Amino acid sequence: MELNAAIKKEIRQFREMSLALKNMESMLSDICAGAGELSDGLRRINSSGGKRFRPMIAWICWKIAGKTGPIVPLMCMLELMHTASLIHDDIVDCAELRRGVVTINIQSGIPAAVRSGDYLLARAMELLKIYRGTGINEALSRVSELMCIGELRQQNRMFETDGLTENEYREYVFGKTAAFIAESCRSGAVAGGASEHDSLSIWEYGKHLGIAFQMRDDYLDWVEDAGTGKVPLQDLWNGVMTLPVILAVNQSSVRLNELLKKKTKSEEEMGSILQLIKYAGVLEITQTYIFQECSLAESALENIPDSPEKSALTQLAKSISEVK
């Protein structure tokens, strides 16, 4: 099931969330329009069909908590941070497409892309004043730091297999993906007036959901016609050490290690890597890990009162675990 559909299935009164998302889109549009010479590129990326996943889960957690404070500025802030990180990632990866449209770094050059990402982050930081005194400011600042560290750790491991461990993988996945999803959940709950106990439970849910989310992405990179819009084996071509690779490397395949370290690989060598990965059975192990993380996410919500919104979070975890 597509992830947003999993949310909408459970929230029957989706109209309220739709209104919040519409207001957020208006804020995003105004922010992009105010970027001067950068506006055209930012408008293109902003309107290209992002899932708005982080704002949606923030809204759900805000509703669960009792929705006592403003949520749309937080939703906008999360989407600005996310889009800025994607623009910066595209620069590092020399990516040509993002959400089906030409990236800013290709269309307008790297300097314009750097400034675009920085501009969105600066506008996100302006919104922090609305949540001063809640702890959201400090938490999102820490998330930005963790995202940078997580990406750097992954970059330092490009085409490098020596000493790779699952623990190291989990550390940089927490930084680059899971921490942001966890804080999107928790900050939404805090903005809605959640108790410290409930907000921590919701953060724990988001952490495990985020780890499963990245593991799922790693798994789908090996699957033809996965419906992600990504070219299969793109991570492998780029030298990114994803979970299936790490699991296979730890089975001590000398041939696999040699092939993974090569920065330029032939189609035949890529085929050999694919066969070695499948033969090692690590894709099935990855599926098991995804299911375990999703189960932990669901368990974190046990003390949260039942509601359509809690059901949406539960269904979201189940949907992420449904990989084949």
The domains located in the chain, with CATH, are: 3-321 (1.10.600.10)
Q: How confident is the model at residue 50 (pLDDT cuts 50, 70, 90)?
A: confident
Q: Which residue has the higher pLDDT, 6 or 319?
A: 319
| Half-sphere exposure at residue 103, Cβ-oriented, CA atoms within 13 angstroms | 24
Contact predicate 308/10, CB 8 Å: yes
What confidence category does residue 124 fall into, taking pLDDT thresholds of 50, 70 and 90? Answer: very high
Residue 323 has pLDDT above 50, yes or no: yes
Structure token pair of residue 181: 């999803």
Q: Quick one: pLDDT at residue 49? A: 75
CB-count exposure of residue 202 (10 Å: 0-12, 13-18, 19+): buried
Q: How confident is the model at residue 206 (pLDDT cuts 50, 70, 90)?
A: very high
User: By C-alpha distance, which of 137, 308, 305, 167 is closest to 247?
Assistant: 167
Among the residue ranges 2-6, 135-139, 170-174, 314-318, the one predicted with the least confidence is: 2-6
Distance of CA 36 to the CA centre of its chain: 28
Identify the residue with better confidence: 104 or 12: 104
Per-residue DSSP letter, 36: G
User: Is it the case that residue 3 has pLDDT exceeding 60?
Assistant: no
| Residue at 307: amino acid letter | S
Confidence of residue 4 (pLDDT cuts 50, 70, 90): low
188 pLDDT more than 80: yes
Q: Token pair for residue 240? A: 């990114």
Three-state DSSP state, 114: helix
More confident residue, 230 or 161: 161
Band of pLDDT at residue 1, cut at 50, 70 and 90: very low
Q: What average pLDDT does the segment 124-128 reach?
A: 93
99 three-class SS: coil
What token pair was written down for 236?
A: 């492998």
Rounded to whole angstroms, what are the CA distances from 296 to 185, 202, 209, 210, 218? 15, 12, 8, 11, 19
d(CA 165, CA 173): 12
Own/partner pairs, 20-28, CB within 8 angstroms, 24+ separation: 20/59, 20/71, 20/72, 20/75, 21/52, 21/55, 21/56, 21/59, 21/75, 23/72, 24/52, 24/55, 24/72, 24/75, 24/76, 24/79, 27/72, 27/73, 27/76, 28/76, 28/79, 28/80
What does the pLDDT average to over 234-238? 85
Choose between 196 and 164: higher pLDDT: 196
Residues 6+ apart with CB under 8 A from 153: 168, 171, 172, 175, 176
Q: What is the pLDDT of residue 7?
A: 63
Average pLDDT (79-85) is: 95
Which residue did the predictor score with more confidence, 160 or 291?
A: 291
pTM as predicted: 0.92
CA distance 218 to 173: 11
